């Protein structure tokens, strides 16, 4: 695995942080953003799968993002 990049809280754009974590991103918009990311990832997934055929993590992450979209918030 590669190096994981961590961002300090001061460098996070509050528009991309959920309200529950101190940002301004509403739940519905968070789900929409996750769907957009899943759609983008699907377009290049085949490149990753060609290079790493045994690594199913990106595929599972896309599936989870799609499943999360239909879950209702309390």
Identify whether 18 is part of a domain: no
* Residue 25 contacts residue 16 (beta carbons within 8 Å): yes
Identify whether 71 is part of a domain: yes
Range of the domain at 59: 26-74
Check whether 5 has a pLDDT greater than 70.
no
Residue 56's pLDDT is: 96
Identify whether 43 is part of a domain: yes
Report yes or no on whether pTM surpasses 0.85: no
Span 11-29, average pLDDT: 83
Span 38-43, average pLDDT: 95
Span 26-54, average pLDDT: 93
- Burial class for 33, CB neighbours closer than 10 Å (0-12, 13-18, 19+): middle
Say how many domains are in the chain.
1
Q: Convert the pLDDT of each residue in 56-66 to its tens digit.
A: 999 999 999 88
Cβ-proximal residues to 70 (8 Å cutoff; 6+ apart), any chain:
none
């Amino acid at each position: 695995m590669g190096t994981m990049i961590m961002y300090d809280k001061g460098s996070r754009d509050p528009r991309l942080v959920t309200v529950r974590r101190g940002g301004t991103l509403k739940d519905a918009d968070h789900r929409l953003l996750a769907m957009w990311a899943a759609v983008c990832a699907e377009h290049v997934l085949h490149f990753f799968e060609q290079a790493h055929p045994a690594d199913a993590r990106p595929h599972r992450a896309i599936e989870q993002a799609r499943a999360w979209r239909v879950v209702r918030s309390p």
